[in-house]
Structure 1
Amino acid sequence: MENGHGAVRQLRYLPAVGSAYGVEVLDFAALRAMDPRGRRARPQRPDFHVLALVRAGGGAHEADFRAYGLGEGSAVWIRPGMVHRWSDVDTCDGPLILFRPGFLAGFTAAEAATPACWQLDRRRLSLALLAADHLRHEHDAAVRAPALASPGLLAHLLAALLLRTLPAAPAAPDTADGAGDVFRAYRAAVEEHFADWRHVADYARALGHDVRTLTRATRAAAGTGAKTFLDQRVLLEAKRLLAHTDLPVGACARRLGFGDTGNFTTFFRRQTGLPPAAWRKAYRG
C-alpha cells in the first residue's frame, strides 16, 4: 500500500481488456459481481475517479470521515486519493463511470468545491442517466469495434455527463483577472507539495504570484483563504494516516513534513481540539 496505508486497499486503474480508453462504464451490479467477498465495504483509496449515480435502491457510503446515505437520485464522486468505502450498496442500481486523472483536464477546479455525495432531483437524474447511457453505448461500441473508437468523443460525452450531474457552480469563477486559473494552479501545487511546503509564500514564489493574489483567488473559488486551504489539506492527510495506519505519531509527522513531533501535535490540536493520539483513539473507539 502506498504511503504506508496498511489498512487501506490501494486501487489502481486497471481497465478491462479492450477498454483502455481512459474511461470505463460499469454499474453497481457489476461491482457486486466482481467483489463477492465484500471488500468494497473496507477502506480503499483509488488512483482514479469514480462517478456513480443511484437510479434505484439505497445504501450508504463513507468518504474521508463523512458518512452519506444513498437513495434514488444520489450522485457520488470519488476523487483520486480519497479514502472511501461502499458501506452498503447491496440494493443500489445505477451506473459507475471510472476515469483516469487528467482525462478531463478542465474539471480539476471543480473537485475542490464538489462534495463526495449530493442529491439530484428526478428531472436532473433522468437527464444524467441518459448522458451516462449514451457514454456507455459509445464505450461498448469502441470495445466491440476498435475502428469506431474515439477517445475524444468519449471525453466529450463524459464532460457532458459531469456538466449535467455536478451541483451548480462547482468550479472556480474565471474572472477577468484570471482568478480561476490562479486557483487551479495553486490547488495543483498544494496537492503535489503539501508535505514539503508549509507556507503560502513558497507557492507564491513557485507560481509567480504574490500571497495576496493566491489568497484572493482561493477565497473566491473555495470560500477560504490560501493558508487555511493548505492547512486543511495537511489535516486531511494527517487524519488519513492516523485513522488507517498504525504508524506512530512521530512517523506521521515526518511523512507530513514536520521536523518535530511537537510542532505536528500543536498543529493538529489547533485544527481539531485534540492531540493526534487522542484523536486516533476517539476515531477507533
Structure 2
Amino acid sequence: MENGHHAVRQLRYWPAVGSPHGVEVLDFAALRSMDTQRRRVLPQRPDFHVLALTAAGVGTIEADFLAYRLAEGSVVWIRPGMVHRWSDIDACEGPLILFRPGFLPGFTTAEATAPACWQLDQQRLELALLAAEHLGREHDSAARSPHVASPALLSHLLAALLLRALPDAPARTDPAPAGNRSADVFRAYRAAVEEHFTDWHHVADYARALGYDVRTLTRATRAATGTGAKAFLDQRILLEARRLLAHTDLPVAGCARRLGFRDVGNFTTFFRRQAAMPPAAWRTAYGAAGTRDA
C-alpha cells in the first residue's frame, strides 16, 4: 500500500477477458493456480467484493483481525476495503464470485450487517451452490456470446445467490426495496461516512451535508444495522485506526493525523474509549498475536 501501508497489498478489480460486466466467477482451485507465489497468505485489501462458498475441505481466513475456520458450508463475504488474508485454503473447494461495488446497490444494508463469515446447513449449502452454478453458467455464456440482457441477468442471479446464502435475519439482510426512504437515507449516510470519516467525526456534519437532521440519520442507521449513527461512525473510524496500527509503521501521532484528529491526545482518548486500551498497547498486542500465529 501507499502512504505507509507497507504491509498490505491493494487489490484492484481487473476483469478477466470475457468478464466485462462487473462480476466474475471462479473457484478456490483457480485462485490457487493463479497465485503460485502464495501471496494470498499475506494481508491484502480489495476494492471489490469477494463471496466464497466452501463446498468441501477445511481452511482458515483472517478478516479485519478476526480468524475464521472454514469447513463445508462456510460462506465468506469480503467487502471492499476489508483487510484479509487466506491463511490456509489449500484443501478448500467451491466457487468464488468477485463483483464491483454498486453492482447490487440494493444490498447496501446486507453489506453493513452480514458478518465476514458464517455457516450454512447442508440443504441451504446445496441450494446456494446451485445458485452459484447457474450464475457461473450465465457468466460463461455472456463471455462467449455477449447479449444486451447479460448484465441484468448476471445481476439478478447474483442477487438470488446472495439471498440464498445470507444468514437468517430477514428484517436486516433482505435487499431494501426501491423507494424505501429509511434504506435510502442509510445508503446515503453510509456512502458519506466512507468518503469523509477521516475528516468528519460528528453526525451533525453528515446531517448538514445530506440535508437530514441527526435524528433521521440515527433512526435510519439503527433500522439498517441495529446501532445508532454515531456508533456506526465511531466503529468505522476505529476499524481504520486498527488497520493503520496493525499494517503500517506510522507512529501513533501519524495515525491520528491520517484519521483527522487534531492531536494525538484526542485520538488516544477516542481509541481507548472504543477499544478499551490505548493505541500503542493495541499495536503491541496485535503484533505479539501475529508473531504467535506465524
TM-score range, shorter chain: over 0.9
- Taking the aligned partners of 1:141 and 1:3, their CA distance within structure 2 comes to 41
Q: Is the 8 A contact 2:11 2:44 kept in 1?
A: yes
Q: Which runs of 5+ in 1 are unaligned?
A: none
Matched, 1:23 2:26: no
Q: What's the offset of the Cα at 1:31?
A: 0.5
Query: Could you say which residue in structure 2 is the equivalent of 1:71?
Result: 71
TM-score (norm 1): 0.95
- Taking the aligned partners of 1:177 and 1:149, their CA distance within structure 2 comes to 26
Output aligned runs, 1:155-234, within 5 Å: 155-168=155-168, 169=170, 170-171=173-174, 178-234=181-237
Output aligned runs, 1:106-125, within 5 Å: 106-125=106-125
Query: Could you say which residue in structure 2 is the equivalent of 1:262?
Result: 265
**Change in 2 beyond 3 A, CA 1:256/1:184:** same
- Taking the aligned partners of 1:203 and 1:39, their CA distance within structure 2 comes to 38
SS at match of 2:250: coil
Runs of 4+ in 1 over 4 A off after TM superposition: 171-177
- Taking the aligned partners of 2:76 and 2:180, their CA distance within structure 1 comes to 32
Q: Is the 8 A contact 2:52 2:95 kept in 1?
A: yes
TM-score (norm 2): 0.93
Offset from partner CA, 1:224-270 (integer Å, 9 cap, x none): 11111110000000000000000111111111011211111111111
Query: Could you say which residue in structure 2 is the equivalent of 1:48?
Result: 48
Q: What's the offset of the Cα at 1:274?
A: 1.6
Query: Could you say which residue in structure 2 is the equivalent of 1:92?
Result: 92
**Change in 2 beyond 3 A, CA 1:175/1:51:** closer
- Taking the aligned partners of 1:259 and 1:16, their CA distance within structure 2 comes to 44
Q: What's the offset of the Cα at 1:146?
A: 3.0
- Taking the aligned partners of 2:176 and 2:141, their CA distance within structure 1 comes to 36
Report the count of equivalent residues.
Answer: 285
- Taking the aligned partners of 1:141 and 1:212, their CA distance within structure 2 comes to 48
One-letter code aligned to 2:103:
F
One-letter code aligned to 2:264:
T
Offset from partner CA, 1:7-61 (integer Å, 9 cap, x none): 0010011121222221100000001101112111111000000000000001111
**Change in 2 beyond 3 A, CA 1:123/1:264:** same
- Taking the aligned partners of 1:79 and 1:3, their CA distance within structure 2 comes to 22
Q: What's the offset of the Cα at 1:178?
A: 2.6
Q: What's the offset of the Cα at 1:179?
A: 2.0
Q: Is the 8 A contact 1:139 1:154 kept in 2?
A: yes
| Superposition RMSD in Å | 1.8
Identity of aligned residues (%): 75
